[in-house]
Amino acid sequence: HHDKGFGKFFAYLNLFVFFMLLLVMGSNYLIMFIGWEGVGLCSYLLIGFWFTNPSYADAAKKAFVMNRIGDLGFLIAVFLIFNYFGSIGFAEVFGKAAAMKSGDSVLVLITLLLFVGATGKSAQIPLFTWLPDAMAGPTPVSALIHAATMVTAGIYMIARSNILFSLAPVTLEIIAIIGLATAVFAALIALTQTDIKKVLAYSTVSQLGYMFLGLGVGSYTGAFFHVLTHAFFKALLFLGAGSVIHAMSNEQDMRKMGGLKGKLPITFWTMLIGTIAIAGIPPFSGFFSKDEILAGAFAHSTTLYVIGVITAALTSFYMFRMMFLTFWGKFRGTHEQEHHLHESPATMTIPLIVLAVLSAIGGMIGVPEVMGGHHELGHFLAPVFEKSTHLLGEHHITHSTEWILMGVSVGAALFALLFAYNKYIKNAHVPVADGEQRSVAANLSYNKFYVDELYDTIIRKPLDAMSVFFYKVVDLLGIDGIVNGLGKGTIESSKGLRLLQTGNVGFYIFMMVAGIIAVLVYGYTIVN
């Protein structure tokens, strides 16, 4: 209400959409890179939209700088592609690459550099800490950045370059391992967060890790399917969180919420659908896409599959924890907040309803054959991934195995739901206040495993010390010392010469006569 910069906000938002369309519609790496940089710029402008708040401005700068690190890898990869293939057009590059042997060192280097770009944009270890801080922007920005656009650009880029990656199996293994590590790590952090938007932010990092796992095990269709379904339920959850924050007079701490389902019925029911979808409970959209990735992981490695299922259980737990703390139990806020509680206007609830419908039925475009479906999305994307499927070889899982895998993942999600229900509904547990004692594990999770502090210690502080050294020693004493020294030397020598200029006419005549005599004496000595 009454926020400044209304027009500017929508201008930035539409510029963001323009660059994202440019990114996905370009037919070569240059156009993709222009779109890639454009969404990076727009995210900086939108995250720091309320730039008068120093912490929001810092979050925007952090996102911008961390993305530049990844973008450098992408840029070097584009130069290498042009140098090696003589073109940056997708058709020419992929055509020439298909004739190369698998595991070629040049392809491994190019794909690793492209993956560095993707880790920055799609917030994977070690470049993931900017994404939770991106919560500083307005909530529609969070929905846009975290759900449908910028963070999935890295997934899109790898899926678009699938032939290059399929010819670099080493890179695919690295992608799968880093993706799964990020998924688990972010899920563990989300378990104890008390800020409703922070839970969703770490959930996004975790789900992106899932998508990278899909790419790494060669399940390109599964990863892309999860990009689509995730866009529906994560945008829904973020906008739902925005509706809750709006009703709570800008309060984001779930410890001060509770019992909101009666006051915000539309927000509650739509967010519940989004939560069931992200937890992977059938027949909602997240179930189909997540299980396709898990099936690909199982065919690739049992270890990856087991860790993936554990991550799915963690996802179910922290999402239902968020719902129970927010909508069930007694209201824990102030009387003033309780007095102002109201359902959001239609401009906010209609998008929630639309996204809830998509979250519920969106998975129908990828129903597997084992369940009597035809996987329309898989057939639609088949021409894009055809060569990669041929290179990697298809992993066929029997129908009975597929049913067992689905049963295990759904069972894990339901077990986590019951565990959260027991803790937060039956026992009415509320997370402790910030100053109170937590267990070591809970403290590590709540403080994000101190990753920001670690980066601060090993990167920022040494860089600060180095910049101070270069400023004081190299710049002030060295460069400035030489330049200023030459200037001072000139001034001092001119002061000495200035003493010859006395302003006395008699002195000048004397010096002229003395000079003439000196010249004559010199000439006479040379002649003789």
For 46, 296, 458, the CA distances from 367, given in Å and listed in that order, are 36, 15, 47
Evaluate if residue 2 carries a pLDDT over 70.
no
Kindly state the percentage of the chain with pLDDT values over 70: 97
* SS3 at position 195: strand
Domain residue spans of the chain: 1-167, 177-431, 475-527
pLDDT band of 44, cuts 50, 70, 90:
confident
Dihedral of CA 189/191/195/197: which sign? positive
| Res 414: pLDDT | 94
Which of 5-19, 305-319, 333-347 is most confident?
305-319
CB 448 within 8 A of CB 442: no
Check if the beta carbon of residue 130 is closer than 8 Å to that of residue 63.
Answer: yes
Q: Flag whether pLDDT at 149 surpasses 80.
A: no
Task: Provide the pLDDT for residue 147.
Answer: 62
Q: What's the rounded mean pLDDT across residues 3-15?
A: 83
The confidence score (pLDDT) of residue 274 equals: 94
Residue type present at position 424 = Y
Bigger pLDDT: 519 vs 251: 519
**pLDDT tens sequence across 75-126:** 999 999 999 998 999 889 988 988 888 888 999 999 999 999 999 988 898 8
Number of residues written out for the chain: 528
Give the range among 165-174, 355-364, 379-388, 448-457 with minimum mean pLDDT.
379-388
**24 Cβ neighbours under 8 A, 6+ residues apart:** 35, 156
What's the token pair of residue 145?
A: 């950045």
The DSSP line for 110-145 is HHHHHHHHHHHHTT-TTS-THHHHGGGS-HHHHHII
From 141-145, 186-190, 226-230, the region with the lowest mean pLDDT: 141-145
pLDDT in tens, 289-331: 999 999 999 988 899 999 999 999 999 999 999 999 999 888 8
Angle, alpha carbons 12-241-197 (nearest 5°):
80
Choose among 215, 232, 231, 234: nearest CA to 223: 215
Q: d(Cα 406, Cα 390) in Å, to the nearest integer?
A: 26
Q: H or E element: which one contains 202?
A: helix 196-216
Round to whole Å and give the CA distance between 322 and 433.
16
| Residue 93, burial from CB neighbour count under 10 angstroms (0-12, 13-18, 19+) | buried
SS3 label, residue 89: strand
CA-based R_g, the chain, Å: 32
Measured between alpha carbons, how far is 80 from 86 in angstroms, rounded to an integer?
9
89 pairs with which residues across the strands? 28
Q: Is 80 exposed, middle or buried (0-12, 13-18, 19+ CB in 10 A)?
A: middle
pLDDT (0 to 100) of residue 398? 84
- Which of 277-286, 316-325, 436-445 is predicted with the least confidence, judged by mean pLDDT? 436-445
The pLDDT value given to residue 76? 94
What is the C-alpha to C-alpha distance for residues 170 and 172, in angstroms, rounded to an integer?
Answer: 5
**pLDDT above 70: residue 163:** yes
